[in-house]
């Protein structure tokens, strides 16, 4: 059996107000998959990761597709509209060339407007791209390339790995430039702010240390950037002061 998978990844924005409240979303769509997998009682198919998802969440024993065809079924899932409403009546490829109506909003647009980062990794098979406008789109190419693409989108950086206690990552905010090139990470355990390049999560700088003097911190726990590019860092320790820092572009290079 060949199963093509599209992994629609949606990550929360790093905006401080939304960071704690929003949940990450992972939507997996597979072709031609019935009740195949260990979680459905099939001993011949090994699906340990899906089994784990099933054990930690809700497993539905009955599911129904609105259309027994790939593109229109995917369009229904991503738009929440039946084919006669979204316009994707048939397949998107070759002579079929069926399109979703341009005024329809899909998950990428709806969640993007609410501060989420979005990616479609794997099989897509819907059009146009202006409707299915994920921030990152990586076409199918086998299990390994798909996994590598997902890993790149979900990049993880360990900052100060020797840190014990409550860890070193408390709050993250994006730099105020149009490209949002930098991440500012408040480290409440090591009493400092780390600066990371957003594209590869490389640490490019840091400032602050433990203490009560200007420029020093005691458990920095909250951060925000205003429209003028000033960074405000709040502390959770005794005193709970807020300090203001003027960000300089040259310092982040």
Give me the CATH number covering residue 104. 3.40.720.10
The predicted pLDDT at position 221 comes to 87
Question: 165 lies in a domain?
Answer: no
Q: Where are the beta strands (DSSP E) in the chain?
A: 5-11, 25-30, 117-122, 136-138, 171-174, 182-187, 192-197, 202-207, 220-225, 230-235, 242-246
Q: Please indicate, yes or no, whether residues 26 and 142 belong to a single structural domain of this protein.
A: yes
Which of 99, 127, 153 is where one domain is finished? 153
Rounded Cα distance between 177 and 90, Å, is: 42
Q: Please indicate, yes or no, whether residues 129 and 39 belong to a single structural domain of this protein.
A: yes
Q: Please indicate, yes or no, whether residues 14 and 138 belong to a single structural domain of this protein.
A: yes
Q: Please indicate, yes or no, whether residues 175 and 93 belong to a single structural domain of this protein.
A: no
The predicted pLDDT at position 31 comes to 82
Which of 86, 118, 153 is where one domain is finished? 153
- The count of structural domains within the chain is 2
Question: 229 lies in a domain?
Answer: yes
* Active-site residue (options: 70, 107, 131, 233): 70
Burial class from Cβ neighbours inside 10 Å (0-12, 13-18, 19+) for residue 222 reads middle
pLDDT means over runs of 10, the chain (253 residues): 50 44 80 84 88 89 86 95 96 94 95 87 92 87 79 79 75 86 91 90 92 91 88 86 81 41
Contacts of 106 (CB under 8 A, 6+ apart): 78, 79, 100, 131, 132, 133
Q: Please indicate, yes or no, whether residues 139 and 181 belong to a single structural domain of this protein.
A: no
User: Which range marks the domain in which residue 31 is found?
Assistant: 5-153
The predicted pLDDT at position 8 comes to 60
Residues paired with residue 244 on neighbouring β-strands, in sequence order:
232
Q: Please indicate, yes or no, whether residues 116 and 203 belong to a single structural domain of this protein.
A: no
N residues, the chain: 253
Q: Please indicate, yes or no, whether residues 115 and 229 belong to a single structural domain of this protein.
A: no
Q: Please indicate, yes or no, whether residues 31 and 138 belong to a single structural domain of this protein.
A: yes
The predicted pLDDT at position 9 comes to 56
pTM of the predicted protein model: 0.61
Q: Specify whether 70 is catalytic.
A: yes
Q: What is the DSSP string of 106-166?
A: -HHHHHHTTT-EEEEEE------TTTS--SEEE----HHHHHHHHHHHT-----STT--TT
Phi, psi of 141 (to 5 degrees): -170, 25
Question: 159 lies in a domain?
Answer: no
Q: Please indicate, yes or no, whether residues 11 and 88 belong to a single structural domain of this protein.
A: yes
Which of 125, 153, 181 is where one domain is finished? 153
Question: 234 lies in a domain?
Answer: yes
Q: Please indicate, yes or no, whether residues 91 and 144 belong to a single structural domain of this protein.
A: yes
The predicted pLDDT at position 117 comes to 83
Q: Which two tokens stand for residue 125?
A: 């098979």
Question: 35 lies in a domain?
Answer: yes
Question: 161 lies in a domain?
Answer: no
The predicted pLDDT at position 16 comes to 42
Q: Please indicate, yes or no, whether residues 184 and 242 belong to a single structural domain of this protein.
A: yes
Q: Please indicate, yes or no, whether residues 17 and 139 belong to a single structural domain of this protein.
A: yes
Cα separations in angstroms, 119 against 9, 12, 25, 171, 216: 5, 12, 11, 23, 39
Question: 193 lies in a domain?
Answer: yes
Question: 158 lies in a domain?
Answer: no
Q: Which two tokens stand for residue 214?
A: 């200007």
């Amino acid at each position: 059996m060949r199963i093509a998978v599209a992994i629609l990844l949606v990550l929360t924005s790093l905006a401080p107000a939304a960071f704690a409240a929003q949940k990450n979303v992972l939507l997996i769509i597979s072709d031609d998959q019935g009740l195949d997998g260990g979680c459905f009682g099939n001993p011949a198919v090994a699906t340990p990761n899906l089994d784990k998802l099933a054990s930690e969440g809700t497993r539905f024993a009955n599911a129904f597709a609105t259309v027994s065809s790939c593109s229109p079924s995917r369009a229904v899932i991503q738009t929440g509209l039946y084919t006669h409403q979204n316009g994707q009546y048939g397949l998107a490829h070759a002579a079929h060339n069926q399109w979703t109506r341009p005024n329809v909003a899909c998950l990428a647009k709806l969640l993007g407007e609410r501060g989420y980062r979005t990616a479609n990794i794997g099989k897509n098979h819907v059009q146009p791209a202006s409707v299915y406008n994920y921030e990152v789109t990586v076409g199918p190419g086998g299990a390994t390339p798909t996994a590598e693409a997902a890993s790149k989108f979900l990049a993880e950086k360990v900052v100060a790995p020797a840190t014990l206690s409550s860890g070193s990552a408390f709050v993250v905010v994006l730099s105020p430039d149009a490209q949002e090139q930098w991440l500012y990470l408040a480290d409440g355990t090591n009493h400092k702010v780390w600066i990371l390049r957003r594209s590869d999560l490389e640490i490019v700088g840091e400032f602050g240390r433990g203490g009560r003097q200007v420029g020093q911190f005691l458990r920095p726990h909250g951060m925000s950037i205003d429209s003028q590019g000033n960074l405000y860092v709040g502390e959770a320790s005794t005193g709970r002061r807020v300090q203001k820092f003027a960000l300089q572009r040259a310092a982040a290079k």
